[in-house]
Homo-oligomer: A and B are copies of this chain.
Amino acid sequence: MPVSVEEMKAALDAMGRQARIAGRALALMSSAAKDNCLRAMAAAIESEAERIKAANALDLEAARAAGIAPAMIDRLTLTDSRIRSMADGLRTVAAQADPVGRVLSRTVRPNGLEITKLSVPFGVIGIIYEARPNVTVDAAGICIKAGNAVILRGGREAFNSNCVLADLLNRVAVAQGLPDGTAQLIPWIDHEAVRLMLKLDRYIDLVIPRGGERLIRTVVAEATMPVLKHYKGVCHLYVGRDCDFDMALDIIENAKCQRPGVCNALETLLIDRSEAADFVPRFAERMRKCGVELRGDAEFRKLCPEAAPAEEADYYAEYLALILAVRIVDGVAAAVDHIETYGSRHSDGILSRNAADVDYFLRNVDSSTVYVNASTRFTDGGEFGMGAEIGISTDKLHARGPMGADELTTYKYLVRGNGQIRQ
């Protein structure tokens, strides 16, 4: 139903106020109350699977009618197994330690003041995301675990699925004694609704956009509250001195090919000059088998004539496809310099058994995650043992790399005295 901007603004303001009140109550909930609620949500998702699939069918029908790409249709589709997996995700989050109420430090000052640094929720978190309806459940679950109310804004393609899921989550929350407004979905697909949401800094403490670089740049430009974000992943591997080629080839194939469309996939391979003559033929053969298009510098192309020439832009590119930029470099310092210049500070690794080079690489690469002899694909909350993730940060402020429930808390200082005044 069409609404005016004024009506939308009033409704979003009311949602913000409701979320703020809900957040204050959630901050005081016991671990057991939150975890029981998350488990009840998991059960409800499974028992209402038919209703969820019916809403999802409407989204799929509209998507097919609009001629949306098959890959997008796939991401939009909720099957029984994906529904179970959303429920299991909530159970995993429920099973983890409560990130709220951790005593981060406690000191008694010479004047007797006792200062306790305590982890507390942010309050209200806004999540802006694109096609996958499972984000509705994953994101809400982690926010609630960390004692935050959540305002969700999903993509237009998943609108019907998201409405059913968010309504279910909030209903279960209320039934379990959590406040009404624990999880709210913005019920409009207009872009105007996002713009208005991003001005609600009175109520929303933090916004996390998940999606393509364009969405994220828009959110950063328009948001009046802090944003935790991930721009892009231009991930590197460096084949260094004393490299085990068999291991390196398996890692490169995994990092590039196992899921090329994600942010922790490999985009540029750096090869040490000392290894190039021996390594490149085997590498070129493996990439040919995997169907990877190579774009290299002049020196690489002498050893691998079928490779296309790499332009400067190739070294900045996040292909998200079976394309790989390659460059021959002279030593570990040159590899680090390349990553410093072209990288996105996401995930970068060295493939080498040379202890000095490994140490130099670990110390000097300024990325959220720095690897030795492993695939960059491990930069992920689940793989890091966080149980679930709300996203990956390429920022340096507050959180870097995979973000779980711990990263959705802040802290406050409690200071207990008995009459202390400052001299």
Q: Is the CB of A385 within 8 A of B107?
A: yes
- Contact of A109 with B385 in the complex, beta carbons under 8 Å: yes
CB distance from A241 to the nearest CB of B (A): 17
The reply on A377 being an interface residue by CB < 8 A is: yes
A98 to B253, CA, bound (A): 40
Question: Per-residue CB proximity of A349-385 to B under 8 Å, as 1/0?
Answer: 1000000000000111011111111110111000111
CA distance A401 to B116 in the complex (A): 12
Interface residues of A in 368-423 (CB under 8 A from B): 368-375, 377-379, 383-385, 395-398, 400-401, 410-422
Interface SS of chain A: mixed
**Given A107-B385, A109-B383, A421-B254: A366 and B412 interface contact (C-beta under 8 Å):** yes
Tell me, yes or no, whether A226 is within 8 Å of chain B by CB.
yes
- With most chain B CB atoms within 10 A of its CB, the pick from A254, A367, A414 is A414
A417 to B368, CA, bound (A): 17
A114 to B412, CA, bound (A): 31
Interfacial chain B residues near A371, Cβ < 8 Å: 415-417
Q: Are A415 and B369 in contact (CB under 8 A)?
A: yes
Interface-centre pick from A120, A228, A255, A375 (highest chain B CB count, 10 A): A375
A422 near B362: Cβ-Cβ < 8 Å: no
Whether A419 pairs with B364 at a CB distance below 8 angstroms is no
A422 to B366 CA separation, bound complex (whole angstroms): 23
Using an 8 Å CB-CB cutoff, how does the interface string of A250-286 with B read, 1 for contact, 0 for none?
1101110010000000000000000000000000000
A115 interface residue (CB < 8 Å to B): yes
Q: Choose among A367, A412, A416 the residue with the greatest number of B CB atoms under 10 Å from its CB.
A: A412
Instruction: List, in ascending order, chain B residues with CB within 8 A of A374's CB.
Output: 113, 415-421
Given the interface pairs A123-B366, A396-B206, A418-B373, the reply to whether A378 lies near B113 with Cβ below 8 Å is yes
| 18 contacting pairs across A/B (C-beta < 8 A) | A24-B366, A27-B363, A107-B384, A206-B396, A251-B419, A251-B421, A254-B421, A258-B422, A349-B415, A362-B414, A366-B412, A370-B412, A373-B419, A374-B415, A374-B420, A374-B421, A375-B420, A378-B415
Minimum-distance CB pairs A-B, first 5? A374-B417, A254-B421, A377-B422, A398-B398, A247-B419
